[in-house]
Structure 1
Amino acid sequence: MKLQTAQKLLFIVAAIPTFWLWAQGNADKIRLNRPAAPASFNAAKEESTEAAAKADAAAATAVKTEDATDLEEKKSGFKIPKPFFFNMYFRASAQDDFGYNSPTLGWSPFYGRLMNETPWLMADFGYHVVRPETPGAPRATLFMRIEGGSFRGYDKGQGSLGNFNINHIWVETENVLAKTLVTQTGNLWYNMGYIGIFDNFTSQVFYDTIGFRAGQRTKWFEYFAGVGDSGWSIYRNRSYDGWQGHQYAVIPTVGGLVKLNLYEMQALKSFSNKFMPKWQLGTTFQMMWERESETNRGAPNQTPSVAYADVMRGEAFKKFMLENPGNSDFFPWAQSTGANYWRGTLWTGFGGPEFGPLKIYWNDLSVRFEKKAPQIAVRETYDNESKDIYISSFTDERYEFTLYDEIQIRLLPNHFDLNAGFAFGKSWDNDNRIRPDDHNSTRYSVVVRPMWYITEHLHYLLELVYSREKSTIGNRYREHFNSIKSNTGGIPDVDGLEWGDTDTKHTYQIKTGFTINPAGRGIYSRPVIRLLYGVQHSNVQGAFGNSFEESLNRRNQFNLNRDIHWHHMVRVEFEHWFSVSGWEEGYMPPMAQQTERLSQVHKGEDIDPSKPKRYDIFTTLWGGWALQVGPMTTGLADRYVNDADGCLGLTSRQCVINYSTGGVSGGGHVTARSGDIAYTGGMWFLPVYQFTVDRTTGNTESSLNFFAVTAGVRYYLPFVPESLKGIFVGGELGYGIPLLQYSVRGSPKSVDLGTYVIVTGNLGYQYRLSEKISFEAAARFVFMPTSPVSLAIIPTVGASYHL
């Protein structure tokens, strides 16, 4: 380990002065040419006039040559690449989650990468060993990528070089053996689409393979086929499963890619340029084999005469010993077996046309279907003796389908952009139909991130997330701190193989705050400094990285003994990527193309002050009092009070009800008005009720509120007198995130209210005080098709600021 760390340190120490020397030489501060032979002072003085004349002539020739070269480059669009290129990405953050000490708001970037990732650094180093002097000339490029996630003061790794890896190193050649022929030797990784909002590489091939690939790259298409070994990558992935006996074995791998640049094809060029600019389509496939091996304990093997259910409980060896006391030496030996697994992907990416103020900057759609590598073994211990149970045949039927999509949209030039993503995954294990786990689940996540450009460099960000994860064969999740971990009444196994009291996990996240973008507008404009607040609500207990003591032993003083469904966090973070001398000059590999797309800085459109503004854009903060008038309030009161948890069977002296409905409401909306039509959307708070049932046998408490997100249309009446021109009517449609808390005698209890769709009707009047300020008074009529139905009227007043 010390030797590896020293080698990495030596590499970085050598790379820094090399890069500096090249940069200085490129700026003509240091000449990299061999110096002329020394001459005496007198000889130099006598020949100074002649040398000056020669220097002038050489300079004139150089200028002419340079001018000719520049002219040729302008004609062909080709530039001779510089010898080195360097690219870097990094992010780091500091946060406080008010006592829980988690580095992230939720479990993973599946809930949106914002506030769900830890520090990271990626550095790319490239050297054009052979630089093409003309279009189509031979090229050879060495590429290396170093990645890791540790900085001093940011994590427990404290920036140690042991936390970084050389993830990729390869040599790529082009036009060497034949025109347009491209080869790559070393790491064979190729990625088509990067889903930035989830930080996901779905449509990739050969990430885990070392070998050789060859193909053709033209402006119309690209294809290649490759062969190599994925053994060390599979070994590394398996090393995290807890078994200590893994060994390396060669895993032959073959695969390939076909990608079409449809926007360059004559038959589709007109359609693509009009509706789907830069339209590309690609697919990949990769196949891996593991041979049978009688000498490698880390190869696929299967222990005969054991039941998978016993292995899941960790009782296979115990059961054998109970049936065969004292005969541990006769525990069945594993039998070697083979395995094969594969991965196929499909990807398309395109820009979009403009529809009035709307424009699709870019859309990435990636799909992957794969068969997973089998697990090798687990270790069981009984009566101080341990045995390895090989389970390759029990785990070689695991499949997964995933789909990711991300879209970047301009909503209003210079003012609003929208980044949205959708993720879907389904996993199934044909060998396991008895215990819930991550290999038998269906899940999806929706992320919406609007960005409001307050000024060129100060932006306001909001991200809304909803995720649903469902176990397909039983209870997988624990809702409360005292939920059972092992459900002895589980389904379908009578001995119990479930883990908790629900099969579905719901996660809501809201992240909001200001960003500082020195480079200007753009959701992916970098560098960026973010000042954020985030909140997560999940029905699952402690649904974020934590180190809670979960033992229910009464002597465990560190058990919180309460449910934790909310997680709040404030964070400051910065993120940046950049390239030096890079990819845009004569050589742009696919990874650089992705970076270029994400690095678009949308500077906006020039506005002619002599022309009237096309849109009146304003932000409104409003407040009011919600009056609940529907059956929701009395219905829930009946449901919870007139049952065993309420006042059923108790006298008025034994049970006292304190009840209130509605309450203070308020929120914020952003509106864009053009003529008599305005489009509006925002977030607001909808209180429904709260009540307490004071019982002699223990209290029942409940409160229900909604965090609402809605969008809709306003219509300003044009036919009214001039003094009443501010009257408007409108409607909005959205979704309410339930902020529901219900407990009986101190123990939380689940409540299902059905759907949480929100429909509102609006009637109001807006008074324009000045060019920048207006006030409004309105009434909101709220309908929710919950069970029972919720109805409310909210009189409101608000103030607006106009851009």
Structure 2
Amino acid sequence: MGIALLLAGAARGETARSRAEVGGYFRVMARPDLQGGTGTLGYWNLYGRLMNEGPWAALELKVDLLRPTPGSREPWASAHFKIEGGSVMGADAAGGTLAAFRMSQLYVRAGNVLLPEVEWQIGTLDTWMGDLGLYDMKPAQILFETVGISATWRSRDVDLLVGAGDSGFFLRGLDYSPVLTTGALVRWRVVSGHLELGGGGAFYFEPEVPGNPNAPHTTPGIDYADLVRGEVVENWLRDHPGQEDLFYRDRPPEARAASSYKVVFYLGFGGLGPIKWNNLFANTLRRHPDNFVTETYGGREWTLWVTGLTDERYEVNVGNEMQLELWPGRLDAVWGLLYGHDWNEDNEVAAGEDNRVFYSTVLRFQLYLSSTLHLLLEGSVARERSLNGNLFRLAHDSIFRSTGGKADARGLEYGDTDTRETLQLKAGPVLNPTGLGIFARPSLRLLVGLQQSNVHAAFGRNVVDTLDEYNRLAIESRSVYTHVVVGLEAEAWF
């Protein structure tokens, strides 16, 4: 109902130079998967976003509360709303439910208030310096989690933003605890249209609040392997039989503060021969610690506070995307590179995505048969390596839990290899009514996608993978390394 009212208001305004502007984005597709998959070619967009993402829709509304006067220093103000989500009826399992959508942005902008040429923003503060279109990623993004206030000063050559607020509801949800946040971002147009530099970062601080169960605490004496296996309480009670009521008395949680950070970098250049534009992004961050987990044992739920066991999780990510004009008016290309390194200094025993290295390259060509009929060809190569042991299964009858590559029902590894290698190829005709350009939209695509991997079933699917001989369904009798998907897709910005 709220969306309808917003759209109705916008429509009424358009009749007479409205104060409202509506924009948005959507992608929707039909990808019947005959190999038991869920409609995506691979697991995630490390292999390129094309055919590896599901449906998505976003609607943005801007309403001028006080219209700006061009060339004037008179105050102005506008309200902004963004609703987005990932479900369309008939295109995914959620059936288009509005529960898959959220109001992700809501803020007011105002200018020439208090300080001339300064733009204030109150509400959500998400900001970024550009994106990797092939991967659908924003490595140089800050304050995505934050609600608060920011100020932006713009000049001919420099943009400077500073902001502060609270990220507690985003990070903690129903278990809210305030996470004080501050951040800054600067962009310098060194040579307009040819060279740009930028950088910034954000810092998050969650204060110590003794007695508040949602504030950061650490339960002392927890073994990390027991935590991963969910056996902390079980093992303690094995050593202390009949002393259930003494668990918290003997190891009371210790209150402590928590913090995290993110630093971002940006370099852009273009107008050099066939290079239209090149974006290089990088970030390094420490993830914000978790608060608590629960275990159930003996019919009772136990809370374990884990801030001190989750406060050393780090990431480094570097991405580059180059747009090329290879044959003017006939052939364009976009080439992307991505590298990531995640490590967890608290976890030295269990394989997982918190200790890994990944890298990939994606290359897309678009041949213009006419102004509106194009031919797309994209290829990608990716490698993911676990740094804490095995994380992938090589065959349909590979082990699941393992230790040192040997079957172990309580093992801290998964499968029998630490490396997943993925090759994808996608090709097909594209209709672009608005003309030339790889990122021109709307875009109507009929694509065939092929994936080859060294590991078994490297894509989301619904096939039963148990090896139990008494399974009600037939046990899979062969390994699957190749995945083929045909997709009919529509994508548009408006």
TM-score (normalizing by structure 2): 0.95
Q: Shift in Å at residue 473 of structure 1? A: 2.2
Question: Structure 2 counterpart of 1:140, which letter?
Answer: A
Structure-1 residue corresponding to 2:272: 353
1:210-264 CA-to-partner distances (Å, cap 9, x unmatched) read 111124111111112211000011024xxxxxxxxx6111111111111112124
Q: Which aligned pairs between 1:330-479 and structure 2 lie closer than 5 A?
A: 330-331=246-247, 332-354=251-273, 359-479=274-394
Structure-1 residue corresponding to 2:95: 158
Q: Shift in Å at residue 528 of structure 1? A: 0.8
Structure-1 residue corresponding to 2:15: 24
1:773-796 CA-to-partner distances (Å, cap 9, x unmatched) read xxxxxxxxxxxxxxxxxxxxxxxx
Provide the secondary structure at the position in 1 that maps to 2:31: strand
Whole-Å Cα distance in 2 between the matches of residues 144 and 16 of structure 1?
A: 12
1:577 matched to 2:466: no
Whole-Å Cα distance in 1 between the matches of residues 411 and 95 of structure 2?
A: 43
1:212 matched to 2:149: yes
Q: Shift in Å at residue 330 of structure 1? A: 1.4
Whole-Å Cα distance in 1 between the matches of residues 309 and 338 of structure 2?
A: 29
Indicate the larger mover: 321-330 or 331-340: 331-340
Provide the secondary structure at the position in 2 that maps to 1:162: helix
1:646-699 CA-to-partner distances (Å, cap 9, x unmatched) read xxxxxxxxxxxxxxxxxxxxxxxxxxxxxxxxxxxxxxxxxxxxxxxxxxxxxx
Check whether the contact 1:136–1:175 (CA below 8 A) recurs between aligned residues.
no
Check whether the contact 2:106–2:123 (CA below 8 A) recurs between aligned residues.
yes
1:201 matched to 2:138: yes
Q: Shift in Å at residue 494 of structure 1? A: 13
Provide the secondary structure at the position in 2 that maps to 1:522: coil
Check whether the contact 1:86–1:123 (CA below 8 A) recurs between aligned residues.
yes
Distance 1:426 1:353, change over 3 A: same
1:285 matched to 2:201: yes
Whole-Å Cα distance in 2 between the matches of residues 227 and 166 of structure 1?
A: 21
1:190 matched to 2:181: no
Whole-Å Cα distance in 2 between the matches of residues 317 and 561 of structure 1?
A: 40
Check whether the contact 1:102–1:546 (CA below 8 A) recurs between aligned residues.
yes
Whole-Å Cα distance in 2 between the matches of residues 190 and 489 of structure 1?
A: 44
Structure-2 residue corresponding to 1:45: none
Question: Structure 2 counterpart of 1:434, which letter?
Answer: V
TM-score (normalizing by structure 1): 0.59
Provide the secondary structure at the position in 2 that maps to 1:17: helix
1:306 matched to 2:297: no
Q: Which aligned pairs between 1:85-124 and structure 2 lie closer than 5 A?
A: 85-124=21-60
Larger radius of gyration: 1
Whole-Å Cα distance in 1 between the matches of residues 175 and 168 of structure 2?
A: 9
Check whether the contact 1:90–1:575 (CA below 8 A) recurs between aligned residues.
yes
Indicate the larger mover: 468-477 or 130-139: 130-139
Check whether the contact 1:490–1:497 (CA below 8 A) recurs between aligned residues.
no
Q: Shift in Å at residue 495 of structure 1? A: 7.3
Structure-1 residue corresponding to 2:483: 567
1:71-122 CA-to-partner distances (Å, cap 9, x unmatched) read xxxxxxxxxxx63222111110001221414121111111101001111111
Whole-Å Cα distance in 2 between the matches of residues 372 and 392 of structure 1?
A: 11
Which of 450, 455, 458 is 1:540 aligned to? 455
Question: Structure 2 counterpart of 1:121, which letter?
Answer: A
Whole-Å Cα distance in 1 between the matches of residues 117 and 191 of structure 2?
A: 19
Indicate the larger mover: 331-340 or 117-126: 331-340
Check whether the contact 1:105–1:536 (CA below 8 A) recurs between aligned residues.
yes
Provide the secondary structure at the position in 1 that maps to 2:211: coil
1:398-457 CA-to-partner distances (Å, cap 9, x unmatched) read 000001111110100121110111110001111111211111110001101111111221
Structure-1 residue corresponding to 2:64: 128
Any gaps of 5 or more consecutive residues in structure 1?
1-8, 27-81, 237-245, 265-276, 579-803
Whole-Å Cα distance in 1 between the matches of residues 316 and 412 of structure 2?
A: 25
Provide the secondary structure at the position in 2 that maps to 1:295: coil
Structure-1 residue corresponding to 2:170: 233
Whole-Å Cα distance in 2 between the matches of residues 404 and 113 of structure 1?
A: 14
Distance 1:455 1:312, change over 3 A: same
Structure-2 residue corresponding to 1:15: 6
Which of 167, 186, 199 is 1:258 aligned to? 186
Check whether the contact 1:526–1:575 (CA below 8 A) recurs between aligned residues.
yes
Distance 1:569 1:490, change over 3 A: closer
Between the two proteins, the alignment pairs up a number of residues equal to: 488
1:555-610 CA-to-partner distances (Å, cap 9, x unmatched) read 113332321211110010000112xxxxxxxxxxxxxxxxxxxxxxxxxxxxxxxx
Whole-Å Cα distance in 1 between the matches of residues 222 and 51 of structure 2?
A: 45
Provide the secondary structure at the position in 1 that maps to 2:357: strand
Q: Shift in Å at residue 341 of structure 1? A: 0.3
Distance 1:495 1:86, change over 3 A: closer
Provide the secondary structure at the position in 1 that maps to 2:138: strand
Question: Structure 1 counterpart of 2:256, which letter?
Answer: T
Check whether the contact 2:454–2:481 (CA below 8 A) recurs between aligned residues.
yes
Question: Structure 1 counterpart of 2:490, which letter?
Answer: F
Check whether the contact 2:10–2:21 (CA below 8 A) recurs between aligned residues.
no
1:139-194 CA-to-partner distances (Å, cap 9, x unmatched) read 21211111112222222332232222111111112222222112111111111111
Q: Which has the higher contact order (CA 8 A, sep 6+)?
A: 2
Q: Which aligned pairs between 1:173-184 and structure 2 lie closer than 5 A?
A: 173-184=110-121
Q: Which aligned pairs between 1:786-801 and structure 2 lie closer than 5 A?
A: none
Whole-Å Cα distance in 2 between the matches of residues 532 and 96 of structure 1?
A: 12
Whole-Å Cα distance in 2 between the matches of residues 206 and 417 of structure 1?
A: 34
Whole-Å Cα distance in 1 between the matches of residues 64 and 219 of structure 2?
A: 52
Q: Which aligned pairs between 1:644-655 and structure 2 lie closer than 5 A?
A: none
Distance 1:140 1:180, change over 3 A: same
Question: Structure 1 counterpart of 2:147, which letter?
Answer: I
Whole-Å Cα distance in 1 between the matches of residues 482 and 409 of structure 2?
A: 34
Distance 1:313 1:163, change over 3 A: closer
Any gaps of 5 or more consecutive residues in structure 2?
none
Q: Shift in Å at residue 345 of structure 1? A: 0.3
Q: Shift in Å at residue 335 of structure 1? A: 2.0
1:327 matched to 2:243: yes
Check whether the contact 1:97–1:567 (CA below 8 A) recurs between aligned residues.
no
Question: Structure 2 counterpart of 1:550, which letter?
Answer: D
Q: Shift in Å at residue 529 of structure 1? A: 0.5
Question: Structure 2 counterpart of 1:263, which letter?
Answer: V
Check whether the contact 2:422–2:453 (CA below 8 A) recurs between aligned residues.
yes
Question: Structure 2 counterpart of 1:531, which letter?
Answer: L
Distance 1:544 1:494, change over 3 A: closer
Question: Structure 2 counterpart of 1:379, which letter?
Answer: T
Check whether the contact 2:181–2:204 (CA below 8 A) recurs between aligned residues.
yes
Structure-1 residue corresponding to 2:400: 485
Whole-Å Cα distance in 1 between the matches of residues 202 and 145 of structure 2?
A: 10
Check whether the contact 2:268–2:277 (CA below 8 A) recurs between aligned residues.
yes
Question: Structure 2 counterpart of 1:170, which letter?
Answer: Y
Question: Structure 2 counterpart of 1:200, which letter?
Answer: M
Larger relative helix fraction: 1
Distance 1:498 1:93, change over 3 A: same
Question: Structure 2 counterpart of 1:25, which letter?
Answer: A
1:692-747 CA-to-partner distances (Å, cap 9, x unmatched) read xxxxxxxxxxxxxxxxxxxxxxxxxxxxxxxxxxxxxxxxxxxxxxxxxxxxxxxx
1:277-336 CA-to-partner distances (Å, cap 9, x unmatched) read 342211121011112223332322211122112212222211111111111111133222
Whole-Å Cα distance in 1 between the matches of residues 460 and 387 of structure 2?
A: 24
1:612-632 CA-to-partner distances (Å, cap 9, x unmatched) read xxxxxxxxxxxxxxxxxxxxx
1:507 matched to 2:422: yes
